[in-house]
Structure 1
Amino acid sequence: MPARNTPRTVDVVVVGGGPTSLITSFILAKNGVDVMIVEQYEREEQAMYGRACVLYPRSLELLDLNGLYEHMADMGFIIRDSVTINDGKVVPGRGWHFVQDVINGHCCLDFCLNLRQKYVEDAVKSALDQVNPKIFNAPVKFLNYTVDNSGTFPVTSTLHLQSGEFIHVRSKYLLGADGGRSTVRSLSMIGFPGTMSPHKWVRLDAVVKTDMPCSRMTATAIESQEHGNVLWLPVDHGRTRIGFVFPDELYGEEGKGVTVDMVMEEAKKALRPNSLEFVTLDWWTVYAIGQRVAEKFRDGPVLLVGDAAHTHSSGSAQGMNTGIHDSTNLAWKLAGVIKGWYKEDVLDTYSTERRASAQRLIELDRDVAALISGKIPDRFQAPPGSDANEYLDRVFRESAGFTVGLGISYAKNVLNRAHAWERQPTSVPVGHRAPDARVYRHGSPVPRRLYELAASYGRRFTLLVFAGEVQPEGDATRLNRPCAEKYRALRHYMDSPGAFSRNLADVFQLLTILRGEGTLQVSETLGALPLGRAVHDLSGEAYAQYGVDAREGALVALRPDGIVGCVAPLDGWTALANYFGEFVHPAVQRAQKAVKKDVSFAVGELSVEGQEETHAVLQRSK
């Protein structure tokens, strides 16, 4: 990166070039934020294989919401099932079955994608280059930073270029995405308390030959007498990821005597009585586990994400998944604050939400790491001779929703605001993941995913307007009468200069969902112009997933990361206005102009008869 091309002032400097950095930077850049990534190693010098390799369904949803899943969908190995092997035979109902059990019926992307981190990084880097190929800079070493809060760009970072030159870059924010040994965290004097697990783990990627059942069909847990619970996972490009506990007596002093021959020999022992032959070995490592969480994820304009904020074992395959949750939680908030859409305290919710989740992960990881190693933690008070695999299965099942990400939730805060309604309009609590569902555009037999229609690259909240049930009326179908009246009143409010969507910053998109199929034009069925795009829930899947009574309707505000932020009855727009008014910056100057433009454009698409009827409906609702 020649000095003359180095931006001296940017919105955000991101230190580190892994998936957490790349995903965060992609979302920021898509929202018009000026980003600079600095990575101290050339791409060719970084680890080509190894590291994380499993993407759970919730991570896939988050990638999809931000336009990234399609860049990697064809590369990974899709897993929808698992088996457990003991003494060379399949053991039914144990091991990783918990993954699919908790996924089925709760997610449209109902599988895990096994794709090694190198290829995830390649996919996101390719997407980022399409936005701005100059964002990623390597090799550039981040040396230190200072903060002076008196200016617009308070952070000054000192960088060392490959040419030997030292330069200074000023930014509004500094992101540490530089791994477990984070320089940003160290310089920030943010504590990183935790413990080192006594276990040493092997991970390797290889092309192998074996007589083990189901070796290239699904995820496998091998219950080994010598090596605890052994991971066997088909991954991309015909490779298999193998993981197990390495014997302490072979590890020796700091693992200096460990060789590739020793690792392959132990892998063969772990598979006994089945055979194992190595054809090609891409990568291997033996490592100790540090289970740590940073004391805080934000210190003024400095933020930590991914391994810079928390480290743990790979026992539950959480590394890259947790980083994706961090990235997609932080990026939309940071972009909105920088662009002036959200108030500054929105950023505080990143630290509180993600740190609490990381702490829960560490507690889970301590149990999983011990049990995979064949040791039962004292807290279980297990009788002598107990099988660690039975306790591991119990822990996996109890934490299944959290592990696959579908059950991750956040406490109440300015973004997750619950109201004590006399009758709750939905069954999905605020702070929890919004369900996905299949819906249909008017007249189309092809289903669309609700998440697909809600995607906004972290740009907008999606207001789901559950408009109610379509019912027969004469020789046509129209919205049931109680919902129709509320919908017309809502339409009138949303067109008024006082609507929150018009006097607050432009961070809203709307989706109207009708229960059932209408025979008329959507506006005729509704009795008013649709709010945003309109879709039909033909089977009742969406209404059931959200627990909405089709006779009553509801309003559900989805955060850009697919978390339910606020719910209200169909006529409860005042609650939504108060909710958004707490953290969205005002934008009063555009209100009246927007009303005239939007209404005239929407009505202009109707026939003359449709325009007259719609105007009449709107007048009646007033």
Structure 2
Amino acid sequence: MSRTSHDVVVVGAGPTGLALAIGLRQYGLSVAVLEKEDSSKRQPRAGVVWQRALEVLADLGCAERFLAHGIPLHSSELVVSGRPLGVLRMAVPGTRFPHPLSIEQDVMERLLGERLVEVGGAVEWSTEAVAVRVGPGGAEVDARGPDGAPRTLRCAWVVGCEGAHSLVRKALGVPFDGGPRPNLQVVQLNARAEWPFPEKPGHSYLFLERGMSAGAAPRPGGGYRFYGFTADPDQRPLAPPSVDEMRDYLVRVSHAPRLRLTPTDPPWSNRARFQDRFARTLRSGRGLLAGDSAHLWAPVSAHGLNTGLRGAHNLAWKLAGVQLGWARQELLDTYASEQRLTALRVLRMTRRDRLELPATRFTMLSMRLIGGRLVSGRRSAGRIRSRLSDLDQHHRESALSVGAAGGDRLPDLPVWCRGRWRRLHELLDYQRWTLLRVTGSDRADRQLERLLAAFPVPVRVHTLLPSLGHEHLLPADSLVLVRPDSHIALAAHHPEEVAAYLARWFVRR
């Protein structure tokens, strides 16, 4: 039996596994990605990338190619009992990516795979992990390749990204708590429509009727992704909906009796029930879990894939820092706690969603009364956009977060730096930490430089001033330490505070 060695073995080549491998390769780690299927997804499945996930993809070097293959979603119109009530504008401030993106999962995986090759990685297709053993100093993964020959991969770390039936999770002995989401199913169909609702660039529709909900989002290949959430009182075997079934469902929820659907080429339809499950921990020694191996739920608001991407983004820089000898292993425990809390917040959001879950009598009454103001009002629409975009997701409860703003994502603000106005995110770098000196003086701080030089972890210092109205985010005469993933770690006033923070998590030279 042959044996090979790697820093990390990633089991599963879905979006989460690919994103994690890209992040690790950007740090120079040796990564093996094992996938039992013979190619990436051939089905569209997930269809939206929200704004925060687009920032994640920018850090991974592939946001622009996603934009080139997707459709920015500019607006969503709420229709209740066939009556248009208002339009939600989707643009949000404080980011390079103001709009969410319509792009389907098969294309996402192809683009992520191309980026992985660019950074020196590759997926081992038709290669199934059949056993995982984790010890105090590393792990071993037994795999069977396309020729059926067994081999063993030795690694410092193994990460399970292979979905609900994760072999890695089972090998770690981590319980997968939860169970089926009762009385809920989704039906989906990619199709072109002849109906009374105008087709506008980047414009989607959301329909509500008693006991039903449906949506229509424009697809990059033309037509719409139609989807509907409905009650599921029986538990008969699932089969994809026919065109006639989907048409009848949409007629009932949209009150458009002359609706005609023409399936796209290639055709795609789907019907699914759901589980709400969480791994009890996302780390056990040298083994870690990410994506659907760690958490899954009903795709209300389309945040499952996005949460997996953000989790991979969180894990890659921490795992790289530990493996490169910069950071203590406790840093990985903050991935486990932060990502689990993030996923729990997303699950709670999906359970409270009143715009996509089948509408109750109370929902219908309230939407008729205030639905238009809800999606069009400045404050209420702003809250909806913030929730959907994931830009308000934070890590305030984390042990890594210190101070009033600790754990918050740093918005992409205009700042004055090196004699000109720049966007703040231009100064940040996924391959290093960033220390922002908020002061009018560009004079070097020798004490600060000396304290930072005591640690091998790379920290780049920028001296800047915030634009008018943003002083509360970057207070005068402060030192703001920013993590590689753009979340604030510490806001301090003295270099010694920064050094003490780094000493808590990183080794000294």
TM-score (structure 1 length as normaliser) = 0.74
Residue in structure 1 matched with residue 238 of structure 2 by the alignment = 255
Q: What code does the residue aligned with 1:508 have?
A: V
Contact 1:79–1:219 at 8 Å: present in 2 too?
yes
State how 1:34-53 maps to structure 2 within 5 Å. 34-43=30-39, 46-53=40-47
Say yes or no: does 1:26 pair with 2:44: no
Distance 1:131 1:390, change over 3 A: farther
The aligned runs of 1:393-542 (5 Å cut-off) are 401-418=386-403, 429-439=405-415, 442=418, 448-456=422-430, 459-468=431-440, 484=441, 488=443, 491-495=445-449, 499-514=450-465, 539-540=467-468
CA–CA separation in structure 2 for the residues paired with 1:303 and 1:391: 45
Partner of 1:528 in structure 2?
Answer: none
**Aligned counterpart, 1:476:** none
Work out which of the residue numbers 450, 474, 479 in structure 2 matches 1:555: 479
**Larger RCO, structure (CA 8 Å, separation 6 or more):** 2
Change beyond 3 A, Cα 1:577–1:188 = same
Q: How far apart, in 2, do the equivalents of 1:117 and 1:544 lie?
A: 40
Q: For 2:439, what is the secondary structure of its paired residue?
A: strand
Where does the alignment leave 5 or more consecutive residues of structure 1 unmatched?
A: 377-381, 419-427, 469-483, 515-536, 588-622
* Residue matched to 2:98: 110
List per-residue Cα deviations over 1:477-511 (Å, max 9, x = no partner): xxxxxxx4xx64x612134xxx2321101421122
Determine the C-alpha separation between the residues in 1 that align with 2:393 and 2:231: 35
Shift of 1:367: 2.6
Is the CA contact (8 Å cut-off) linking 1:13 and 1:36 kept in structure 2? yes
**Which runs of 5 or more residues in structure 2 are unaligned?**
none
- How far 1:318 moved relative to its partner? 0.4
CA distance in 2, matches of 1:247, 1:557: 48
Q: Are the structure 2 counterparts of residues 24 and 390 from structure 1 closer, same or farther at C-alpha, using a change threshold of 3 Å?
A: farther
In 2: Cα distance, 1:257 partner to 1:564 partner? 45
Indicate how the Cα distance of structure 1 residues 309 and 397 shifts in structure 2: closer, same or farther if over 3 A, else same. farther
Cα deviation, residue 10, structure 1: 0.7
- Residues 290, 400 of structure 1: CA spacing in aligned structure 2 closer, same or farther, 3 A cutoff? farther
Alpha-carbon distance in 2 for matches of 1:188, 1:289: 24
Residues 524-565 of structure 1: per-residue CA shift (max 9 Å, x gap): xxxxxxxxxxxxx5x536x446252xxx43211110000000
Q: Residue 136 of structure 1 aligns with which residue?
A: 123
Matched AA of 1:238: G
Structure 1 residue 584 corresponds to structure 2 residue 506: yes
Tell me, yes or no, if the aligned pair for 2:70 and 2:220 is still in contact at 8 Å. yes
Match of 1:64, as an amino acid?
Answer: A
CA deviations on 1:175-200 (whole Å, 9 max, x unpaired) are 11011222222332211122322111
Q: 1:568 aligns with which of 471, 489, 492?
A: 492
Out of 344-353 and 263-272, give the one that drifted further: 263-272
Distance 1:257 1:283, change over 3 A: closer
Does the aligned pair in 2 maintain the 1:108–1:437 contact within 8 Å? Answer: no
Counterparts of 1:91-170 in structure 2, within 5 Å, are: 91-92=85-86, 97=88, 100=90, 104-133=92-121, 135-149=122-136, 151=137, 154-170=138-154
Structure 1 position 361, deviation (Å): 1.8
The one of 152, 159, 168 equivalent to 1:184 is 168
Indicate the structure (1 or 2) with the bigger Cα radius of gyration.
1
CA apart distance, 1:403: 3.4
CA distance in 2, matches of 1:60, 1:73: 9
Q: Could you say which residue in structure 1 is the equivalent of 2:336?
A: 351
Q: Aligned partners of 1:360 and 1:400: how far apart in 2? A: 16
Determine if contact 1:371/1:389 at 8 Å carries over to the other structure. no
Is 2:337 the partner of 1:365? no
Q: What is the TM-score with the length of structure 2 in the denominator?
A: 0.90
Change (3 A) 1:204 1:390: farther
Would the aligned equivalents of 1:195 and 1:290 in 2 still touch at CA under 8 Å?
Answer: yes
Aligned equivalents of 2:231, 2:422: Cα separation in 1: 51
Q: CA deviation at 1:76?
A: 1.0
Report the AA paired with residue 497 of structure 2: A
Q: Compared with structure 1, are the counterparts of its residues 207 and 186 closer, same or farther at alpha carbon in structure 2 (3 Å cutoff)?
A: farther
Alignment RMSD: 2.9
Q: How far 1:60 sits from its partner (Å)? A: 1.3
CA-to-partner distance for each residue in 1:407-464, whole Å, 9 max, x for gaps? 111134442122xxxxxxxxx71111111113466566xx6422122123xx210111
Q: Give me the whole-angstrom Cα distance separating, in 2, the residues matched to 1:144 and 1:300.
A: 17
The 3-state SS of whatever aligns with 1:503 is coil
Residue 579 of structure 1 aligns to a residue in which SS? helix
Shift of 1:48: 2.0
Q: Secondary structure at the residue paired with 2:264?
A: strand
What is the rounded CA distance, in whole Å, between the counterparts of 1:229 and 1:336 in structure 2?
45
Secondary structure in structure 2 of the residue aligned to 1:92: strand
CA contact (8 A) 2:193 2:259 kept: no
- Report if aligned partners of 1:212, 1:275 keep a CA contact under 8 Å in 2: no
One-letter identity of the residue aligned with 1:455: D
Distance 2:435 2:252 in 1: 56
Q: 1:347 to 1:582 in 2, by over 3 A?
A: same
**Distance change >3 Å, CA 38–CA 84, structure 1 → 2:** same
**Partner SS state of residue 57, structure 2:** helix
Q: Which amino acid aligns with 2:207?
A: I
Q: Secondary structure at the match of 1:167?
A: strand
Change (3 A) 1:355 1:11: same
Equivalent-residue separation in structure 2 for 1:200 and 1:396 (angstroms): 27
* 8 Å CA contact 1:50, 1:204 repeated in 2: no
**Distance change (3 Å), C-alpha of 1:540 and 1:371:** closer
Question: What displacement does 1:264 show?
Answer: 4.4
The answer for the alignment partner of 1:195 in structure 2 is: 179
Tell me, in whole angstroms, the C-alpha distance in 1 between the residues paired with 2:145 and 2:71: 38
| Letter of the structure 2 residue corresponding to residue 500 of structure 1 | L
Shift in alpha-carbon separation, 1:164–1:58, aligned structure 2, 3 A: same
Deviations 1:4-56 (A, max 9, x none): 7xx6111111011111001110010110111000001111xx54233211111
Residues 346 and 414 of structure 1 are in contact (CA less than 8 Å); yes or no, is this contact kept in structure 2?
no
Match for residue 51 of structure 2? 57
Count of matched residue positions in the alignment of Structure 1 and Structure 2: 500
Give the Cα separation in 1 of the matches to 2:309 and 2:240: 35
Output the CA distance in 1 between the equivalents of 2:477 and 2:53. 30
CA contact (8 A) 2:190 2:263 kept: no
Q: CA 1:19/1:37 → structure 2, altered by over 3 Å: closer, same or farther?
A: same
Output the CA distance in 2 between the equivalents of 1:51 and 1:507. Answer: 39
Post-superposition shift, 1:260?
5.1
8 Å Cα contact 1:461-1:560 kept in structure 2: yes
Shift in Å, 1:398? 6.0
Residues 248 and 567 of structure 1: is their aligned pair in 2 closer, same or farther, counting only changes over 3 Å? closer
